[in-house]
Structure formats: C-alpha cells, structure tokens
C-alpha cells in the first residue's frame, strides 16, 4: 500500500511539473489511428489532430511514469507497435540546418543514424556513423521525407534489451499509412506542434488507449473537462 501511494505521488510530481502535454488517445490496442490534443497549463491549444500509429497498434512502453499493464503486450523491438505510456519530449530534429524554435534541435544530416541493433552499446541512440557500424540502424536523413521534421520521444531511455528504439513523432508518409512504431501526422500539423513546444515548459507525451483513460485522469484530472470525458 505504501509503495503504491509513493508511486502515485511521484507520478503526480512528474506530470504536474509539465506545463505542456501532448495527449494521444486511440480506441483500442490494435488501433492504427488516434486523436491528438495539446494542452498548456490545462488549456487545450492548437485543436484536434488525427495521427497514425504503429502497423500493429500499441504495446506498453517504458516511460518516466509506468502505467498499469492490462491486456496489451509489452512493446518489443521490431513489433511495429507504438508505445503506451507517459514520456518526455526531448528535442526536435529535421532537414533544416538551423532552428529558431524553443526546443533543442538536431540537424538530421546523412551522417546521423538511430541505432536499433539490440546488441549495440548505442542501442536506441542517435549518433554519427561510427567506424564499426551497428548491424541495424535507421538513417536520419530519409529519402521519403518522413524525418523532414520530428520530435524524439523519451521511450526506453535506459536502453533495456529489445524493449524498442527510435521512437519519434514524425511526418506521415500517407493519410492512412501506419508506422513502424512511431506516431505520424501531416507536416503542417507537426510544424504547429513544433512551434508551440518549449523545453522550459517540460513537455510530455501521454499516449494511451481509452482503457488507460481513467488511470491518466487520476494523475491529471484537469484533462477531463477540456476533453469532455464523462462516465
């Protein structure tokens, strides 16, 4: 009982420290589409945005706050599932050389890769191409434009073995095109979010299905009214 109480208190401190919340809600664990809402100091901004999720839906990821696992599986490397959980939004990346936005920014050159090789010491990290290349990685300068602009999601930051890597919010390849495990949307919508995000306001992503709705609302009850959630 004491342990559960302490977990709740820690979760509340983490969430309420954030002034900016990106909330993604999917209907079910196998959903490939979801709705995204942005909040600042408990007020909704930017309007409702439709997003794409993983080709195989969602699985429980590893964030800064652990949600209770229900019937969905844990997210694993290569499962093509987007992560369920509460995650930091750490920095932006894109094809433009410079950025005047209010988040740390990484220029996605041809020299940058994100490592998804589970045996590599650089697993789940964006690095410059090393002399000894990992067995598996993603190019950060893609030819299809999906990484023209993106936001890094703080999933599996401790690099737990095979628990998933290279999770981003990025540009969609098509209106109804599921991802390999990320969250995607139109470039115009992503530009609005990127312009709004401010690292000083400790932005977070809450990505859930409706099954986690009440659990999240216990931690962040002021989200109930803007979303008009009723039971």
34 to each of 85, 109, 163, 218, how far by Cα in Å?
14, 30, 22, 21
Which position has the higher pLDDT, 66 or 196?
Answer: 196
User: Residue 3: what are its φ and ψ, rounded to 5°?
Assistant: -60, -45
Q: At residue 229, does pLDDT exceed 60?
A: no
Least confident of 1-10, 79-88, 107-116: 1-10
Please name the residues in contact with 161: beta carbons below 8 A apart, sequence gap of 6 or more. Answer: 118, 123
Q: What's the pLDDT score for residue 77?
A: 97
Predicted confidence band of residue 231 (pLDDT cuts 50, 70, 90): very low
Domain count, the chain: 1
Residue 56, class by beta-carbon neighbours within 10 Å (0-12 exposed, 13-18 middle, 19+ buried)? Answer: middle
| Residue 142: how many other CB atoms lie within 10 Å | 16
Q: What's the pLDDT score for residue 70?
A: 72
192 to each of 43, 47, 56, 117, 189, how far by Cα in Å?
16, 10, 27, 33, 5
Q: pLDDT tens for residues 117-160?
A: 999 999 999 999 999 999 999 999 999 999 999 999 999 999 99
Predicted confidence band of residue 3 (pLDDT cuts 50, 70, 90): very low
What range defines the domain where residue 204 resides?
2-227
Q: At residue 10, does pLDDT exceed 80?
A: no
Q: At residue 5, does pLDDT exceed 70?
A: no
The whole-number average pLDDT for the span 98-114 is 95
């Amino acid at each position: 009982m004491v342990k559960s109480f302490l977990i709740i208190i820690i979760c509340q401190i983490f969430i309420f420290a954030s002034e900016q919340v990106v909330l993604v809600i999917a209907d079910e664990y196998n959903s490939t589409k979801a709705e995204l809402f942005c909040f600042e100091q408990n007020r909704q901004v930017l309007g409702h945005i439709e997003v794409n999720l993983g080709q195989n839906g969602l699985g429980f990821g590893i964030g800064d706050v652990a949600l209770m696992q229900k019937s969905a599986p844990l997210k694993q490397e290569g499962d093509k599932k987007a992560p369920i959980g509460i995650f930091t939004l750490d920095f932006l990346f894109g094809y433009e050389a410079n950025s005047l936005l209010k988040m740390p920014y990484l220029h996605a050159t041809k020299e940058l890769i994100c490592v998804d090789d589970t045996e590599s010491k650089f697993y789940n990290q964006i690095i410059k191409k090393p002399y000894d290349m990992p067995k598996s990685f993603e190019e950060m300068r893609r030819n299809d434009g999906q990484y023209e602009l993106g936001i890094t999601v703080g999933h599996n930051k401790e690099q737990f073995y095979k628990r998933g890597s290279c999770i981003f919010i990025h540009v969609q390849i098509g209106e109804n095109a599921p991802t390999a495990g990320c969250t995607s949307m139109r470039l115009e919508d992503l530009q609005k979010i990127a312009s709004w995000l401010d690292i000083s306001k400790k932005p977070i992503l809450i990505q859930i299905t409706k099954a986690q709705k009440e659990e999240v609302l216990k931690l962040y009850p002021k989200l109930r009214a803007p979303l008009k959630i009723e039971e």
